[in-house]
């Protein structure tokens, strides 16, 4: 038995219905979040809620849900869905209009939808059993406001799919100046000579909650050096380690980028240190 949330009510998934005139359906006009929960405990909840509120404000969707309301929805879904490890998907669209019109309509209520999906388990810091990633590499063709976690993900989907077509599980992206932005559904880190670097936050990338947690944890718990700065494509391809990070992957070790094997083609030593720190401290924030 599983339950989803739609506009103030909990129901079986097959009972959740929205109009095809919903602007989320017609325009991808909405904001979303993905929050992991392990044994009922959510990871980075406050930061995820802050990001959804910022996204809603950025596109002028007025939704008055407080953090406590979001927490109650998430907790209800967690306890009414199977499995110890769950991802919670939150989605707010601008709502259902009577006609298709690009302008933001006045006086319609946002559509709020949320569901849980089962996660295979907590990512591990064990190099032998960790999930590793081979990734494609291509020029970022998405829009110029990638800092907004928009439900309009066609650009990301196309990039992901071209990686999948090459047998890969992600696609890392670079801009017209050959600077790394992020990946289709992850942020990117590199390690060179013991120094960790990740692209600086701007309009080209999503401010990932996992990225933020890694920066916080590494800065307060280890002697490692972490830099937020421009990272070039050449640096990526000559890095000792490359990681892709997201709510569900945590610190994902990349072993190959396009035709280039990264380091020794297996999870690196700094990855192991950082994923271990992450596992230990991820619920402290």
CA-nearest of 223, 260, 228 to 241 is 260
Nearest Cα neighbor of 97 from 23, 18, 31, 6 is 23
Shortest distance, position 80 Cβ to ligand PDD, whole Å: 21
In whole angstroms, give the CA distance from residue 111 to residue 129: 40
3-state secondary structure at position 233: helix
Q: Would you give the DSSP letter of residue 149? A: -
Q: How far is the CB of 247 from ligand PDD (least distance, A)?
A: 3
Tell me whether residue 114 is exposed, middle or buried, using C-beta atoms within 10 angstroms of its C-beta: 0 to 12, 13 to 18, 19 or more. buried
Site for ligand PDD contains 206 (CB under 6 A): yes
Q: Which of 187, 204, 273, 275 binds ligand PDD (CB under 6 A)?
A: 187
- Residue number, 190 or 206, with CB nearest to ligand PDD: 206
Greatest Cα-to-Cα distance within the chain, rounded to the nearest angstrom:
58
Radius of gyration of the chain (CA): 19
Question: CB of residue 109 vs ligand PDD: minimum separation in angstroms?
Answer: 25
Based on CB atoms, which residue is closest to ligand PDD, 96 or 204? 204
E strands in 141-218? 170-174, 180-183, 187-192, 195-198
Per CB under 6 A, 156 contacts ligand PDD: yes
- Residues 241-260 binding ligand PDD (CB under 6 A) are 245-248
For residue 45, give every residue at least 6 positions away whose Cβ sits within 8 Å of its Cβ, in sequence order, or none.
35, 71, 74
Q: Is 275 in the site for ligand PDD (CB under 6 A)?
A: no
Q: Quick one: 96 or 130, whose CB is closer to ligand PDD?
A: 130
Q: How far is the CB of 158 from ligand PDD (least distance, A)?
A: 13
Applying CB under 6 A, which of residues 114, 209, 262, 277 lies at the interface with ligand PDD?
Answer: 209
- 34 interacts with ligand PDD by CB under 6 A: yes
Q: What secondary structure letter does DSSP report for 104?
A: P
Q: Which of 86, 136, 185, 198 is the binder for ligand PDD (CB under 6 A)? A: 185
Residue 149 known to be catalytic: yes
Nearer to ligand PDD, 91 or 211 (CB): 211
Residue 95 CB contacts under 8 Å (≥ 6 apart), including other chains: 22, 23, 105, 108, 109, 110, 111
Q: 17, 41, 99, 149: which is the annotated catalytic residue? A: 149
Q: Which residues bind ligand PDD (CB under 6 A)?
A: 34, 156, 182, 185-187, 206, 208-211, 245-248
Active site residues: 149
């Amino acid at each position: 038995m599983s339950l989803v949330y739609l506009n103030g009510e909990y129901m079986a998934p097959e009972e959740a219905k929205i109009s095809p005139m919903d602007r989320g359906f017609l325009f991808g006009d909405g904001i979303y979040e993905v929050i992991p929960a392990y044994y009922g405990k959510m990871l980075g909840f406050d930061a995820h809620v802050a990001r959804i509120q910022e996204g809603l404000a950025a596109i002028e969707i007025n939704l008055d849900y407080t953090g406590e309301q979001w927490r109650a929805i998430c907790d209800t879904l967690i306890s009414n869905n199977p499995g110890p490890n769950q991802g919670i998907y939150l989605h707010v669209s601008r709502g259902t209009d009577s006609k298709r019109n690009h302008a933001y309509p006045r006086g319609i209520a946002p559509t709020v939808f949320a569901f849980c999906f089962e996660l295979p388990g907590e990512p591990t810091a064990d190099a032998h059993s960790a999930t590793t990633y081979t990734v494609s590499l291509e020029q970022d063709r998405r829009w110029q406001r990638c800092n907004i976690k928009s439900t309009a993900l066609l650009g990301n989907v196309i990039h992901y799919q071209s990686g999948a077509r090459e047998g890969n599980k992600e696609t890392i992206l670079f801009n017209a100046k050959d600077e790394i932005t992020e990946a289709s559904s992850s942020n990117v880190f590199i390690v060179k000579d013991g120094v960790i670097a990740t692209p600086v936050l701007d309009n080209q990338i999503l401010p990932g909650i996992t990225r933020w947690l890694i920066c916080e944890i590494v800065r307060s718990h280890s002697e490692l050096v972490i830099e937020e700065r421009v990272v070039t494509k050449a640096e990526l391809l000559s890095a000792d380690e490359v990681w892709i990070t997201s709510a569900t992957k945590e610190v994902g070790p990349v072993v190959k980028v396009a035709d280039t094997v990264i380091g020794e083609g297996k999870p690196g030593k700094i990855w192991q240190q950082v994923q271990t720190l992450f596992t230990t401290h991820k619920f402290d924030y």
